Structure formats: C-alpha cells, structure tokens
Chain A
Amino acid sequence: MTTNNGAGLARRHEFVLYFDVANGNPNGDPDAGNLPRLDPETNQGLVSDVALKRKVRNYVAMARPEAPGHEIYMRDGATLNNEHKRAWAAVLPDVTKADELKKLPKDEAKARELTRWMCANFWDIRAFGAVMGTSVNAGQVRGPVQLAFARSVEPILPLEISITRLAATTEADAEAKGGRTMGRKHIVPYGLYRAHGFVSAPLASHPVKGTGFSDADLGLLFEALTNMFEHDRSAARGEMATRRLVVFRHASALGNARAQDLFARVKTWRRFKGERHSPGDDRLDNAPPARGFDDYEITIDRDGLPDGIEIIEH
C-alpha cells in the first residue's frame, strides 16, 4: 500500500449498505437518554452518518496501522496509538524541499500545498474531507465519500433492560444502597438497517479540488464497510454485522444513471411463511416481529441495467 500521488478515482460509485443488530444499541440518542435513535413519525430506527464514519475510521486505523498515507485525522483516543513514528521523509521527500525553496510562497499556493500534504497523509481527509483553520478557501476540502443516515427496514421496538451491579462507586452509595447500584441498558431486539452512500469521482480526481482518493482507497472503504462491526464489539452494541454491500459502478466520472433509479433496484422483503412481502404490507399485520436476518430477503433487479453501470457485491 503506497500513497497515491496523482491517480484519483475516475468513476462514480453509489452503494447500498445493509447491516443488522441483535440485542444491542446501534446508535444512542443523546437527546433521549441514550435510547436507540428513532424516527418519531414512523418508529423506524436511525443510525447517523457520523456514527458509520467513525467505525470506518476506526477500522482503517486498525487495519493499516503502519501504512504510509493511512493516518487518521479524527482519532478515537482510546483505540489509536498516536505515538508511532514514521519516516515521512521516505514518503514525501520532495514536499519539504519544495517548500524550503520557495522563500515567499503566495498565501493561496501555500494553503493548497498544505491541503495536498494533509490529503496525502490522512486517509480520512482524502475520503471524507476536512476543514482546516485558515482563511484561505483552499484550506477546506470536500471528500468524495458521502454517507446518508441509515434507516431500519421496519419499525423497531427499543427495550429497556434494568441491570444491577454488586459494587458501588462511592462510599456514600455503598452505605445508602447496601453496596448495590442499578443501571439501564437500551437494546433493539432485532433491526435490519439500510444506508446509502455516494462516491463522487470528480472530488477525488479534479486537478484543484480533488483529494487524490484512489481506487485502492475505495477498495479499503468497501473493506471497512464490510468488516467494521467485526471490530466494534462492546457491551452496548450487542451483535452487529454487515449483511450486504451492493455497489453500483458507473463507467464515467459524472455517472451513467440516476442514483435514485439505481437504489430502487435494491429491494428489501419481509419473509413470512415461505412468502415474501413488502415491509408494511397488510398481510404482515399478524406476523411475529422479525428476530433474525432470515426473516428478510434482499433482491437486486439486474434487468435492463443502464449502459455503463456495473453491479458489484461484497
């Protein structure tokens, strides 16, 4: 894995990500006492874009700890050892020299150089962009990768589980409560979530605005989306797993079809008594709630695929 100097992604991509949770809380709502996030109008569960991006970053930090150009800017303090030293000179020997040669660089050119350098070294800036604290416009980069909120296929029912602890935090608690304290956990018994993502090739490959996000970076993004929950185990999450990742690859940078039409080709069905129904179908009214991935089916309509569109499954 080397840094990608120059060759940014040349083709637009969209993807549909399915992941599920069993007996866990995929994303707590700070406004509701850490209850799983809910759409108040439909009771469908939500997972924010930033929650998913956090997991992608954590995965990349873990999977490529020593790879040049794969540092993570927005670090999770608990998981990343930020003391590892690296031979930057070996990666970018010319950058510092070029900088020294320019005695009085123009402000904008300097800012652009800084941005370039940050993009070359930090995987998450290349993918998601970053805001650099400078008044020059070039200090702000938009990354090509854009994620939307994930939403559960059917309404979810969060459960509140009370738990006890046999020890107290303070002595006062120990005396008053006899050394026992109680806590609460919120879980979703089962939920299948669907998220949409976009990768805009011009924001990767444009000579000025491009971050240099490459095909190899895209491969790592999909690797991260597929495996991120495997390394995000915790008491709160329960069992989470990526179930399906469907990628639409366009033949050109600007794209060959409308995103909404491509997304509509991926359908989720609810299985009941050997038949499949659309979620929300009347005939499901008396069906028991879904408690596993087997209760769902995902289909991809490949008929009459527009020219220049390729479907890749992970």
Chain B
Amino acid sequence: MSYGIRLRVWGERACFTRPEMKVERVSYDVMTPSAARGILEAVHWKPAIRWVVDRIHVLKPIRFQSFRRNEVGAKASAATAERAMRGGTGAGLGLVVEDHRQQRATTLLVDVDYVIEAHFEQTAKAGPEDTDAKHISMFNRRAASGQCFHRPCLGTREFAADFELVPEGAPLPAGALPEEQRNRDLGWMLHDIDFANDHASRFFHARLTDGVLDVRRCLAEGLVS
C-alpha cells in the first residue's frame, strides 16, 4: 500500500451501465471500481501490474438525464468474416444499418467529477525489472502531463474523461455533493469482472459514506457472483 495514487477525472456526461438494465441503459449513481480501473489502465498499464481501486470520492451532485439514439442491434459475424476471407470477396459482408435498427434510451449521469484512489499489485507476469517505483513514476509522469495510451472514458467511449493527477500530499479538491446525497446505500454494485474465471461478474454492497465510496471497506463484507 505504500504506492498509492490519486487521479481526478471529470466530464460532462457518464454512463456506468447497470448490468441488469443494459438494453435501455441506466447508469449506476457512482462510478464503479471496474470503470475506475479502466481509466487507470488507459493512462498506464502493463501485464506486470494490476490496479486495485481503494476509494472513489464523489465531488459533484448525482444527476441524471435521458438520451435516446438509433443504435445497431447486430454484431459482426466471425463466421461470415471467415467465409469472406477464404472466398476473397467482401460482398455482402457489410451491415445495412436500417435493417438492424434499435432505438435505445440511455439514462446517463451529467456533470460528474471523481477522485480515484488506487494502488497496484504485481502479477505473476512481473519480471525482475518491474519495480514498484518504475510503474508508479511512469503513471505519475503520464498523468501529470496529460499523456495516455488511449483517451479514458466515463463508462462508454462517447463520454471522454478529462483527468489530472492529485499529487502526493496535495489536498483533495473540494466536493460539492449536497448533504442529502453524502450518505447513501447504493445497493449491489458491480465490483469487477473476473477475467480469470470465464468473465464472471462480481458484485459488492456499495455505500457512500460522507461522499466517499470506500471500496476496501465495502469489500470486507464480501463479494458475490
């Protein structure tokens, strides 16, 4: 735990989709630990490390808006692509979007601002040259200068995230979360997806305590699949 980092992320919109409402997407009230991990990985990640999210600070009021879009209800078929590749022709491979139309509404969060507190652990893939100091300074350097592997996003890619490092020792930005939202039972929330075990989803009982989602403390109560 000696190497903790704090990253502030914010944006105009966000959608941390609840898995039980993913057709007409409805966002969780607060960023999930898995979304926070994805943001950190967008800045710096190597197979040698694994990010662990400790706390998520909610700095702005929790507000929702609805947005309906024309979406495509079909996926590219790998079998068709393989046939086309063997046959050497791409005819009929495209998707005519009008034939696969779905109108879906998204209940998204507006004007969000968070501070992610996290640390990383070394994985089995770490080599002798993978020191903690190397990865932490790479992350801090990139985050401080605005560098990223790819642009981090707030749940889905159309909601790009701005980010800024909260340097060690610096105070946290002042929160504007109203009193009645500071302490909330958020219910069962997705913690992360277990990629080692066939992409199983793991949930935890999330609570907002004085504007902070303390992932470690909530996790102490256990994870369910």
Instruction: List the interface of chain A (C-beta within 8 A of B).
Output: 29-31, 37, 39-41, 48-50, 71-78, 80, 82-83, 85-86, 88-89, 92, 95-96, 99-100, 110-111, 113-114, 117-118, 121, 130-134, 139, 142, 144, 146-149, 151, 196, 198, 200, 202-203, 252, 254-261
Contacts and interface: CB of A to CB of B under 8 A. Distances in A.
A210 to B, nearest CB: 11
Contacts of B12: 148-149, 151
The 10 closest A-B pairs by CB, nearest first: A258-B146, A200-B150, A134-B78, A77-B96, A254-B147, A133-B75, A198-B151, A49-B158, A31-B68, A88-B88
B76 A202 contact: no
B98 A77 contact: yes
Interface in B51-71: 65-71
Given A48-B67, A255-B148, A82 B94 contact: yes
Given A49-B158, A50-B71, A198-B160, A71 B94 contact: yes
25 contacts: A30-B70, A71-B90, A72-B94, A75-B97, A88-B89, A88-B90, A95-B85, A99-B86, A110-B82, A114-B82, A118-B81, A139-B78, A142-B150, A147-B158, A149-B12, A149-B158, A200-B150, A200-B151, A203-B149, A255-B145, A255-B147, A257-B145, A259-B162, A260-B146, A260-B162
Given A95-B85, A200-B150, A255-B145, 16 more contacts: A30-B69, A39-B65, A50-B71, A72-B94, A73-B76, A75-B97, A76-B96, A77-B99, A82-B91, A82-B94, A99-B86, A118-B81, A131-B76, A133-B76, A148-B158, A254-B149
A201 to B, nearest CB: 9
Interface of B is mostly: mixed
A39 to B, nearest CB: 8
Interface of B: 12-13, 65-72, 75-78, 81-82, 85-86, 88-99, 103, 105, 110, 142, 145-151, 153, 157-160, 162-164
A254 B82 contact: no
A134 B77 CA distance: 7
Contacts of B164: 258, 260
A81 to B, nearest CB: 11
A132 B77 contact: yes
Contacts of B98: 76-78
B149 A48 contact: no
A235 B179 CA distance: 50
A106 to B, nearest CB: 14
Contacts of A88: 88-90
Nearest to A87: B88
